[in-house]
Structure 1
Amino acid sequence: MNDASNDSGQPLIAHLLELRNRLLKAMAAISVVFLGLFYFSRELYTLVAKPLMQAMPEGTSMIATGVASPFLAPFKLTLYLSIFVAMPFILHQAWAFVAPGLYRHEKRLAIPLLGSSVLLFYAGAAFAYFVVFPLMFQFFTAIAPEGVAVTTDISSYLDFVLALFLAFGLAFELPIAIVLLVSTGATTVEKLASARAYVVVGCFVVGMLLTPPDIISQTLLALPMWFLFEVGLMAARLIRREKQKQQETPDP
Structure 2
Amino acid sequence: MSNDPQTNAASAEPGDPEYMEATRMSFGDHLEELRIRLILSLIGVVAGAVLGLIFAKSLMSLLCQPLIAVLMRHHLPSQLVSLSPASTFSVYMKLGLLSGLILAMPWVLVQIWQFVASGLYPKEQRFVQRFLPVSIGLFALGVGFVYWIVLPIVLNFFVTFNESFAVEFEGLTGIQRLLIGDPHVTGDDDAANPDSTAPNPLNIPILPQDPPAPKHGDTWLNLETGRLCVRVGGETLTTQLSPGSGDGRISSQFSVDFYTSFVLMLMLAFGLAFQLPIAVFFLVWAGLVTTEQLGRSRKIIILVIFIIAAVLTPPDVVSQILLAIPMWGLFEAGLIFAKRWKAVR
Q: TM-score range by the shorter chain?
A: 0.7 to 0.9
User: Alignment partner of 1:152: what SS?
Assistant: coil
- Structure 2 counterparts to residues 65-214 of structure 1, below 5 A: 65-144=83-162, 145-146=165-166, 147-194=249-296
**Structure 1 equivalent of residue 233 of structure 2:** none
Output one character per residue of 1:131-168: Cα deviation in whole Å (capped at 9) or x when no partner.
11111111111121322221111111122223322332
Q: 1:231 to 1:12 in 2, by over 3 A?
A: closer
| Contact 1:44/1:74 (8 A) holds in 2 | no
Q: Which runs of 5+ in 1 are unaligned?
A: 3-10, 246-252
Amino acid across the alignment from 1:170:
L
Q: 1:223 to 1:94 in 2, by over 3 A?
A: closer
Q: Which AA in structure 1 matches 2:48?
A: V
Structure 2 counterpart of 1:21, one-letter code: I
* Residue from 9, 21, 37 that aligns with 1:22: 37
Specify the alignment match of 2:66 in structure 1.
Answer: 51
Give the secondary structure class of the aligned counterpart of 1:143.
helix
Alpha carbons 1:53, 1:62 under 8 Å: kept:
no
User: RMSD in angstroms over aligned alpha carbons?
Assistant: 3.4
**Aligned-partner SS, 2:253:** coil
Q: 3-state DSSP class of the match of 1:99?
A: helix
Q: What amino acid does structure 2 have at the position aligned with 1:35?
A: V
Q: Distance between the aligned counterparts of 1:92 and 1:207, measured in 2?
A: 24
Structure with larger Rg: 2
Letter in 2 for 1:39: I
- Secondary structure of 1:65 counterpart: coil
Deviations along 1:79-105, whole A, 9 cap, x unmatched? 222222222322333344443331122
- Please, what TM-score do these two structures have when normalized by structure 2? 0.57
Question: Which residue identity does 2:88 align to in structure 1?
Answer: P
Contact persistence 2:50–2:96 (CA under 8 A): no
Match of 1:90, SS? helix
Percent of residue pairs identical: 35
1:40 to 52, 55, 64: 55
Residue-pair matches, total: 234
CA separation of 1:204 and 1:27: change in aligned 2, threshold 3 A = closer
Work out whether residues 102 and 268 of structure 2, in 8 Å CA contact, stay in contact via their aligned partners in 1: no
Q: Which amino acid aligns with 1:69?
A: S
Q: Give 1:41 deviation, angstroms.
A: 0.2
**Separation of aligned partners in 2, 1:67 and 1:236:** 54
2:158 is aligned with what amino acid? F
- 302, 321, 332: which one aligns with 1:230: 332
